[in-house]
Amino acid sequence: MENKENNFFMSREQLLRLTESGVLIPDFSGVLISPEAEIEAGATIYPCTVIKGKSRICAGSAVGPCSLVERSEIGAGSVINASQVYDSKIESGVSIGPFSHIRPNCHIKSQAHVGDFVEIKNSVIGEESHIAHLTYIGDSDIGQNVNFGCGCVTVNYDGAAKGRCFVGNDAFIGCNTNLIAPVKVGDRAYIAAGSTITEDVPDDALSIARARQVNKEGRAAGRFVKVKKRN
């Protein structure tokens, strides 16, 4: 009996015709492309990549290896490396991955960078903004040339309702920052690492929201000796 699942993807002959039209597919292994997808000449599709639905892969972009794009547009010159993109628009010159998850209703604008282990959901990321690693951006509008340090979270859900965060242009969000929605961070604002932000931050402000460090002299003496004995 014919496997109907195969009908949702191009045959090997159709993939060969893509390469003849100028699409580079160095190795067909694991490459599955929907017949509804538009792959422009000059795009590169690497092994173990799945392109589903009415996706558009523009010239000069590279998708894969080990990536999934579903009903999304990948702009010219963008790179999707070992990542997944769903129902979203990725503009030109964007780099994503490895191991990033772009959930539905995202718009990532030109020259932005989304690094490893980043999840973005229902958000707009402005031009040339950087979200390098280990960060969650949900229900947020991020301006241009914004830098997120490692381990940041837009805390968009309080258990009952979703809230939205806004970050202005040229802002700097330090490592391990929590933005508790709804909150607005102004243009050129700087948030110190380890802060939990619950109130709006004005333009050009430095915001520090963390507990004061307290050192207890001598309180750790002998601690590691006891640990070694238990081990």
**Residues catalogued as catalytic:** 133
Local structure of 150: helix, strand or coil? coil
Residue 217 CB contacts under 8 Å (≥ 6 apart), including other chains: none
CA distance 169 to 224: 47
Strands in 10-145 per DSSP E: 32-33, 38-39, 44-45, 50-52, 56-57, 62-63, 68-70, 73-74, 79-80, 84-86, 89-90, 95-96, 101-102, 107-108, 113-121, 124-125, 130-138, 140-142
CA distance 144 to 30: 36
| DSSP annotation of 128 | T
CA distance 72 to 12: 23
Q: Count other Cβ atoms within 10 Å, centred on residue 160.
A: 5
